[in-house]
């Protein structure tokens, strides 16, 4: 994900708490993060890159998309982050161990239940409340509960049989009034269970009955002028009011629900989805729908509910929506007016609002977005009066010295950039002597005859490095192939950078500062470089073969080895067989010395009989 991608997205990112997700090209979530302020946190990835860790740089390099979900508080973000990490296991996150991240408060499923904090949740019939993002809050709450209601802390099996048998004696907790002695039958099970019911009210957030009780105790002690006791209960009441975490999580026993909301804009419908499991927001998604002529909100929302529940494998038996809709199956449809479910619906609407803003901005950017290559090629299309944008351009150039080793090159540009894997080089086969026109006709014909036979894509523009003569030769062969109307052909002359068209003697002069002319010049220069390089290679190869490779039994590798060691053929001629044998072996040395001795004899005979033919 580039800085430019972030800058386009940045205006839509809110200053709200939430969870963000980086997604790679395979649509896989590779990182999940939480933020107290989404805008500031995401901006930090694109700030001073010099000080970023290698892992962070790799994350940004591999990410192609960013998604985020808004929540109410930092605690909510912490919980949702943990849930998503456990579920998605993103590549760049430190994995969290399931069930050991946050604290819960458990009311044990036993006679005279104990109440304590735990990090493990078991399916044992006990009631678990949480998770609590702050362990301190859980400890304070347990402390408040113990001060309000004396509970046992021992692990004895307080069955009626054991109590009747007198197996247990009261402990120190009884003597300091932290426990009322259910183990010895001093406190009845009914009295104890009433306290447990009040404790569950506290854990569920139903504080009014407990507050009323504390207020009564404050009044009672105040009337008796026992101000210390009244102050103690006043502090308990203040702690109780302040204790509850603002997390969406209240009770792991809360029924799972799915929350949906919809908004229609012109011919597009947008749907937001929140998945709540055990009272915790564990996933979210946004959907964009194309509206048909007869679609309405209720039909679209009903369709979206079915699609999203299936996509996220939801088995929740209740859905929360802004208005009644039809849903298949045994599902309760709730349209909340107040309370926690109304709050969740408002949260879904807030996420949908930012999703729509983001989509709107993306649409605006897409309509404005033109790459530099596209801009240049459209300018070239206008300059050359072409019917199509020349995304695929090819350029030809010849190279020879007085007709020796004639070669040609074809370079290919795609999207205004060299595509070197498509470059081609040609040895001139049918032309004898220095004939640039015939050479150009040969290579252009060979190139496009083959592309036509193979059914390969043809270029929109072909550039000939040369004047009107070479351009006419190339146009003639294109005409023979029936391609003159499928390919735009131009020539570029070197002196004044004139652009010529076939059959038009008046050149076109493109502004020297034009980007399209610079691309054409780049094509011409690249074709010339490629042709010259190939020509030099051919000359070197042929120069190597003029003397040594004419010797029967001496190949290019042996000749190259000799020239590397002795630098010239002239020196090799002066070497003895023994000197050559050390370099190339006895057999090759014999062939070389025998060949050059015969050549010397033949030359001597010619010199002695100058009149012989």
Percentage of the chain with pLDDT > 70? 85
d(CA 286, CA 307): 12
For the chain, what is the mean pLDDT?
81
pLDDT band at 448 (very low <50, low <70, confident <90, very high): very high
pLDDT at residue 413, as a whole number: 94
Q: How far apart are the first and last CA of the chain?
A: 80
- Per the structure block, which two tokens stand in for 455? 């059914």
User: Does residue 259 contact residue 237 with C-beta atoms inside 8 Å?
Assistant: no
> Residues for the chain: how many in total?
613
Instruction: Write the CATH number for 461.
Output: 3.30.420.340
Residue 47's φ and ψ, nearest 5 degrees, are -90, -115
Residue 220 lies in a domain: no
Q: Identify whether residues 128 and 49 lie together within a single domain.
A: no
Q: Identify whether residues 361 and 382 lie together within a single domain.
A: no
Model pTM score:
0.37
Residue 483 lies in a domain: yes
pLDDT at residue 556, as a whole number: 74
Neighbours of 228 (CB within 10 A): 7
Residue 541 lies in a domain: no
User: Does residue 524 contact residue 397 with C-beta atoms inside 8 Å?
Assistant: yes
Domain span at residue 27 reads 3-88
d(CA 4, CA 201): 52
Q: Is 415 helix (H, G, I), strand (E, B) or coil?
A: coil
Sign of the torsion angle spanned by Cα atoms 344, 350, 354, 356: positive
Instruction: Write the CATH number for 567.
Output: 1.10.150.20
Query: How confident is the model over 87-137, as pLDDT tens digits?
Result: 778 887 754 433 345 678 899 999 999 999 988 878 788 888 766 656 766
Average pLDDT over residues 349-356: 88
Q: How many alpha carbons fall within 13 Å on the CB side of residue 242?
A: 10
Number of H helices, E strands in the chain: 20, 19
pLDDT greater at residue 45 or residue 294: 45
Q: Identify whether residues 72 and 127 lie together within a single domain.
A: no
d(CA 287, CA 355): 9
pLDDT at residue 95, as a whole number: 47
Residue 239 lies in a domain: no
pLDDT band at 554 (very low <50, low <70, confident <90, very high): confident
Q: What is the CA 595 to chain-centroid distance, rounded?
A: 68
pLDDT at residue 255, as a whole number: 62
Beta strands in 36-174 (DSSP E): 63-70, 103-107, 115-118, 127-132
pLDDT band at 351 (very low <50, low <70, confident <90, very high): confident
pLDDT at residue 260, as a whole number: 93
Residue 72 lies in a domain: yes
Query: How confident is the model over 402-425, as pLDDT tens digits?
Result: 556 688 889 999 988 999 899 998
User: Does residue 465 contact residue 396 with C-beta atoms inside 8 Å?
Assistant: yes
d(CA 179, CA 170): 9
Element (H, E) at 346: helix 339-368
pLDDT band at 150 (very low <50, low <70, confident <90, very high): confident
pLDDT at residue 543, as a whole number: 56
pLDDT band at 182 (very low <50, low <70, confident <90, very high): very high
Least confident piece of the model among 120-129, 298-307, 603-612: 603-612
pLDDT at residue 330, as a whole number: 83
Tokens 């402990």 sit on residue: 171
Residue 225 lies in a domain: no
Least confident piece of the model among 102-116, 509-523, 531-545, 565-579: 531-545
Q: Is 525 helix (H, G, I), strand (E, B) or coil?
A: helix
Q: Which of 493, 520, 528 is nearest to 410 (CA)?
A: 528
pLDDT at residue 392, as a whole number: 93
Least confident piece of the model among 389-393, 472-476, 494-498: 494-498
Least confident piece of the model among 46-55, 494-503, 593-602: 46-55
d(CA 445, CA 313): 61
Residue 238 lies in a domain: no
Element (H, E) at 442: helix 436-454
- Per the structure block, which two tokens stand in for 494? 């070197």
- Per the structure block, which two tokens stand in for 243? 């204790």
Q: Identify whether residues 347 and 294 lie together within a single domain.
A: yes
């Amino acid at each position: 994900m580039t800085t430019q991608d972030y800058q386009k997205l940045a205006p839509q990112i809110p200053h709200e708490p939430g969870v963000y997700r980086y997604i790679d090209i395979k649509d896989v979530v590779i990182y999940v993060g939480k933020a107290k302020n989404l805008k500031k946190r995401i901006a930090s990835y694109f700030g001073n890159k010099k000080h970023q860790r290698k892992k962070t740089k790799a994350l940004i390099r591999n990410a192609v998309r960013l998604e985020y979900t808004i929540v109410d508080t930092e605690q909510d973000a912490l919980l949702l982050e943990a849930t998503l990490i456990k579920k998605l296991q993103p590549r760049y996150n430190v994995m969290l161990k399931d069930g050991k991240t946050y604290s819960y408060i458990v009311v044990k499923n036993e006679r005279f239940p104990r109440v304590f904090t735990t990090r493990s949740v078991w399916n044992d019939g006990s009631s678990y409340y949480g998770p609590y993002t702050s362990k301190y809050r859980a400890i304070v709450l347990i402390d408040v509960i113990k001060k309000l209601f004396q509970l046992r802390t021992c692990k004895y099996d307080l069955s009626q049989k054991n109590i009747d048998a007198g197996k247990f004696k009261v402990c120190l907790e009884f003597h300091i009034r932290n426990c009322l002695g259910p183990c010895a039958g001093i406190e009845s099970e009914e009295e104890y269970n009433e306290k447990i019911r009040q404790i569950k009210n506290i854990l569920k957030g139903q504080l009014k009955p407990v507050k009323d009780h504390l207020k009564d105790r404050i009044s009672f002690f105040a009337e008796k002028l026992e101000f210390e006791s009244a102050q103690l209960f006043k502090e308990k009441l203040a702690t109780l009011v302040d204790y509850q975490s603002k997390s969406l999580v209240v009770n792991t026993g809360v029924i799972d629900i799915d929350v949906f909301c919809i908004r229609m804009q012109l011919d597009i419908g947008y749907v937001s989805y929140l998945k709540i499991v055990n009272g915790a927001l564990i996933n979210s998604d946004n959907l964009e729908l194309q509206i048909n002529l007869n679609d309405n909100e209720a039909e679209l929302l009903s369709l979206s509910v079915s699609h999203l529940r299936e996509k996220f494998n939801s088995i929740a038996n209740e859905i929360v929506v802004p208005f009644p809709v039809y849903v298949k199956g045994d599902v309760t449809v709730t349209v909340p007016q107040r309370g926690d479910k109304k709050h969740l619906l408002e949260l879904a609407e807030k996420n949908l609002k930012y999703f729509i803003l983001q989509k709107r901005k993306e649409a605006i950017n897409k309509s404005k977005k033109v790459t530099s290559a596209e801009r240049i090629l459209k300018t070239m299309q206008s300059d050359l009066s072409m019917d199509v944008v020349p995304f695929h351009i090819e350029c030809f150039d010849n190279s020879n010295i007085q007709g020796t080793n004639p070669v040609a090159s074809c370079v290919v540009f795609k999207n205004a950039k060299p595509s070197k894997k498509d470059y081609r080089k040609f040895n001139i086969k049918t032309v004898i002597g220095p004939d640039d026109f015939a050479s150009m006709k040969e290579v252009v014909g060979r190139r496009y005859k083959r592309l036509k036979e193979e059914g390969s894509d043809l270029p929109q523009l072909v550039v000939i490095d040369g004047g009107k003569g070479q351009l006419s030769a190339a146009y003639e062969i294109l005409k023979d192939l029936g391609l003159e109307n499928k390919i735009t052909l131009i020539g570029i002359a070197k002196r004044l950078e004139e652009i010529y068209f076939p059959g038009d003697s008046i050149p076109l002069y493109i502004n020297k500062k034009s980007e399209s002319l610079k691309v054409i010049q780049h094509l011409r220069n690249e074709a010339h470089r490629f042709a010259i390089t190939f020509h030099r290679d051919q000359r070197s190869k042929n120069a190597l073969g003029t003397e040594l490779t004419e010797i029967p039994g001496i190949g290019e590798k042996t000749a190259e080895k000799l020239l590397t060691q002795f630098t010239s053929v002239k020196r090799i001629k002066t070497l003895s067989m023994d000197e050559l044998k050390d370099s190339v072996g006895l057999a090759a040395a014999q062939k070389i010395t025998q060949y050059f001795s015969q050549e010397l004899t033949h030359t001597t005979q010619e010199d002695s009989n100058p009149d012989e033919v």
